Structure 1
Amino acid sequence: IDAADMVKIAYQSCIQNKGEYRREAEVIKHLLKGHGIMSWALQPGTSRLNYLSVLNSTGLYPFLNVEVKRTSSSSSRNTLVVSAASPHVLPWTDWQGHGISKRKRDKIKVAYKHFIINVINLGSSEAS
């Protein structure tokens, strides 16, 4: 069983069967903010639609819909908006050229791995 399968099992256990863990959007948003990841600069000419294609670049199945919205304070920056469960991913493997530094990608990768581990642990405790 690989990590993606474990995450899918945990997801089904926790969320689809109305487990206690239904605030996944708020949890991951808070987790990312805790690592200082709130927004990033847009590359010139990059559209929101192009960004969504980047979201499908890894093999994990998280519980998030990661959207990009323009902030009112600056039209050249995007803010991470996390909403309901979906097959989108946090694309830390393919963020080169999308205005996100390697250090920020690494922070997201670490935070997201911790999030997955927590969900797997929760799924195991829900099942037992």
Structure 2
Amino acid sequence: MTEYTQSFRRYMQFTLYLLAIFVMGWGITSYKAIFLGLILGTILSIYNLFNMFRKVDRLGEATVKGTKARSLGLLTRQAVAGLAVLIALRYPEYFNLLGVVSGLMTTYLIILIDSISKIRFK
């Protein structure tokens, strides 16, 4: 297993733990719209992380073969974020917009924190 695959699994693990905390917060607290927004944003953030992992993996294979690779999927990730915002704007009684945007950033924050901790503790 490559270091990149291990990092991806670690990111997924931390994101799923955070998603479980958001689900518990939705079930326990009275802040249903905020936690539902966090859940929606985090689920779509997981999709973006998986999509980015596939694209980078294909880029690595293309580099090894010496062929050209397509983009890393910036437009796809932006479209998913736009879809999440549209859902939050269409159903504001269920989804808090700030929660959705925060949920979309969860995997990126996890990647940032993991990278900083790797650099600091090496």
Give the TM-score of the pair, scaled to structure 2.
Answer: 0.36
Which of structures 1 and 2 has the bigger CA Rg? 2
Give the TM-score of the pair, scaled to structure 1.
Answer: 0.35
Report the structure, 1 or 2, having the larger strand content: 1
Report the structure, 1 or 2, having the larger helix content: 2
